[in-house]
Amino acid sequence: MPVASIVVCGGSVVGSAAALMLARDGHCVTVLEADPGGPPSGPARVWTSWDRRGVPQFRQAHNLLPRFWRVLEAELPEVIGRLLESGCVWMDALTPMPPGITDRAPRPGDDRFRYMAGRRPVIEAAFSAAAQEEPGVTVRRGVRVAGLLVGAGPSQGTPHVAGVRTADGEEIRADLVVDAMGRRTPSSDWLEGIGARRPWTEGEVGGFVYHTRYFSGPDLPIRRGAPFTPMGTFSLLTIPGDNGTWSVTVVSSRKDAPFRALRDPGTFTRLVRACPAHAQWVAGTPITEVLTMAGILDRRRRFVVGGRPVTTGFAAVGDAVACTDPTAGRGLSLGLVNARLLRDAVRKHVDDPATFPEALDEATEQSLTPYYRDQVSTDQARIAEMDALRQGVEPRSPDTAMARFEAAAFSDPDVFRALLETATCLASPADVLARPELQARLDQVGPVEAPRIPDPDRERLLRLLAE
Ligand SMILES: Cc1cc2nc3c(=O)[nH]c(=O)nc-3n(C[C@H](O)[C@H](O)[C@H](O)COP(=O)(O)OP(=O)(O)OC[C@H]3O[C@@H](n4cnc5c(N)ncnc54)[C@H](O)[C@@H]3O)c2cc1C
């Protein structure tokens, strides 16, 4: 395989992972990261002192799904070793099973549901250190990419990206430029700037607001439900971290003004304490204020438009390709899958830049777009439900195959595992629902109503928020 010089713009988790995978195929990779400082040593300092202005969600709750770890085990297993040294811990997404499941015997393949808990900065520090130490990767921090260089390419009429220009005016030539600049990437404008057609883009600002607080304590709180629990006009997200830490997030609708009161830590604690299955999660020692984030974009881009690539010599990965509201915590898992798709496309098409964009587009459509669509429609349905309940209207109960599937998972061990595969991105909901054995199982279980998780009713909720 010919060796390529590759510039990766953005050195966060997905940029670093892509750089590592490409370098291991022998390519010469330079990572340009706008933020100046690398990770300090030790998880405590990484958490308190690593300044990552380029990643606004840096200290928001991050759940890393089993799919993330399966890709890591296959491609970059030594990063897992670094994470264990940093105090990250293995967990099992199968526990606890819903109380309605009585058959708790293990099944072959259950280990696919293992995942590791760690706070996002600690996870990112391990990727950064691995990239920094990788012989084929040069990481340059404090270098902001400001535009693309154009050069002679393989296809007439299609501009070819031949490198990047930094904010300091340096020109860095490359065979391939990879955009890993996250959800605020400016690269669509840059591509237009070199005469390319604009990448196809769909998306809008999502409707959720995240209010997160981190805690620590000698023991992780006992889990009495799924990490993500919808509760009327809000949802609760409880995520274990490294070194005896965990996060609690209240997710509200951005149209629901009374939830603004959650910025006050006392109000935040009062609300979570009023949820009997979750109160134990705020019993630890708080290690942050309530961190609020909103205005998160759902966006997907394609670089092949009307059957033709908008450019050659260019690719994007991670949030720069597709990002959604993170209620299901899929971003980094799908970002790693995306990094591997990029590596595979480079492997097959490195000496043929004209066919590379279509190959990567096709692989992305097959492997990632189903999750994007599923996430957007799930989020829209949940926002509609929250808004209806806020207005005192009984929301229409969804009579869909997915709703029946979700309800049956509360009592059937195999349906539960199938649902967990979709929730952890091991398989897409459409693929799982198409399995004949699952359909047979669902017919056997028959109609079931999902059990209700105790939550404060709207009147009490408003009182709690106003106190
Ligand atoms: C509130 C919230 C909660 C989330 N929770 C989860 C979760 O539970 N699980 C999960 O998997 N995902 C979660 N996500 C999504 C996850 O954070 C993203 O999917 C992930 O960070 C994407 O990684 P990335 O490397 O593509 O981009 P980013 O992490 O956004 O990194 C982009 C990098 O590019 C750099 N950069 C930007 N512009 C330039 C430039 N011009 N030149 C050089 N460098 C540049 C930035 O400094 C940054 O380092 C959450 C997101 C949000 C907003």
Which atom in ligand 1 lies closest to the alpha carbon of residue 144?
Answer: 42
Same domain, 220 and 280: yes
Same domain, 360 and 214: no
> What residues have CB less than 8 Å from 296, skipping those under 6 apart?
183, 205, 206, 208, 210, 323, 325, 326
Same domain, 228 and 275: yes
Average pLDDT over residues 183-211: 95
Alpha carbon distance 415, 43 (integer Å): 38
Same domain, 41 and 156: yes
Question: Torsion over CA of 225, 318, 11 and 113, rounded to 10 degrees?
Answer: 30
Question: E-assigned strands of 285-341?
Answer: 285-286, 291-293, 297-302, 304-305, 308-309, 314-316, 322-323
pLDDT class for 226, splitting at 50, 70, 90?
A: confident
Choosing from 345, 373, 401, the residue where a domain stops is 373
CA 154 / ligand 1 centre spacing (Å) = 32
Same domain, 22 and 126: yes
Is residue 130 included in any domain, yes or no?
A: yes
pLDDT tens-digit series, residues 116-173: 999 999 999 999 999 999 999 999 999 999 999 999 989 999 999 999 999 999 999 9
User: Is a pLDDT exceeding 80 seen at residue 323?
Assistant: yes
- In the DSSP assignment, the letter for residue 282 is G
CA 123 / ligand 1 centre spacing (Å) = 12
Q: How many domains does the chain have?
A: 2
Alpha carbon distance 16, 395 (integer Å): 43
Is residue 393 included in any domain, yes or no?
A: no
Same domain, 229 and 290: yes
pLDDT tens-digit series, residues 449-464: 777 777 888 999 999 9
Half-sphere exposure of 70 (CA within 13 A, CB side): 17
Write the residue with the smallest CA distance to atom 25 of ligand 1: 14
Write the residue with the smallest CA distance to atom 21 of ligand 1: 332
Same domain, 236 and 364: no
CB 104 within 8 A of CB 416: no
pLDDT class for 395, splitting at 50, 70, 90?
A: confident
Choosing from 294, 310, 340, the residue where a domain stops is 294
Is residue 279 included in any domain, yes or no?
A: yes
Same domain, 286 and 309: no
Is residue 390 included in any domain, yes or no?
A: no
Same domain, 267 and 185: no
Pocket test residue of 31, 52, 57, 139 for ligand 1, highest count of atoms within 8 A of CB: 57
The pLDDT value given to residue 394: 83
Choosing from 258, 279, 294, the residue where a domain stops is 294
pLDDT class for 297, splitting at 50, 70, 90?
A: confident
20-54 burial, b for 16+ CB within 10 Å, e for fewer? Answer: bbbbbbebbbbbbbbbeebbbeebeebbeebebeb
Average pLDDT over residues 7-26: 98
CATH number, domain with residue 229: 3.30.70
Is residue 386 included in any domain, yes or no?
A: no
Average pLDDT over residues 236-245: 97
User: Is a pLDDT exceeding 90 seen at residue 397?
Assistant: no
Q: Mean pLDDT, the chain, as a whole number?
A: 94
pLDDT class for 398, splitting at 50, 70, 90?
A: low
The pLDDT value given to residue 119: 98
Question: Torsion over CA of 238, 240, 241 and 245, rounded to 10 degrees?
Answer: 80
CATH number, domain with residue 44: 3.50.50.60
Residues in contact with ligand 1 by the CB-under-6-Å rule are 9-15, 32-35, 54-55, 57, 60-64, 144-145, 180-182, 210, 293, 296, 318-320, 323, 326, 329-333, 335
CB atoms within 10 A of CB 397: 10
User: Is a pLDDT exceeding 80 seen at residue 317?
Assistant: yes
Average pLDDT over residues 93-110: 93
Domain hosting residue 177, numbered range? 5-64+118-204+296-373
Task: Copy the structure tokens of residue 423.
Answer: 């929730």
Same domain, 25 and 132: yes
Q: Is the peptide bond before 154 cis (omega within 30 degrees of 0)?
A: no
Same domain, 290 and 325: no
pLDDT class for 177, splitting at 50, 70, 90?
A: very high
Is residue 460 included in any domain, yes or no?
A: no
For residue 183, give the nearest of 338, 277, 299 by alpha carbon: 299
Same domain, 242 and 314: no
Alpha carbon distance 372, 298 (integer Å): 9
Is residue 437 included in any domain, yes or no?
A: no
Which atom in ligand 1 lies closest to the alpha carbon of residue 14?
Answer: 25
Is residue 442 included in any domain, yes or no?
A: no
Average pLDDT over residues 360-368: 97
The pLDDT value given to residue 399: 63
User: Is a pLDDT exceeding 90 seen at residue 113?
Assistant: yes
CA 95 / ligand 1 centre spacing (Å) = 29
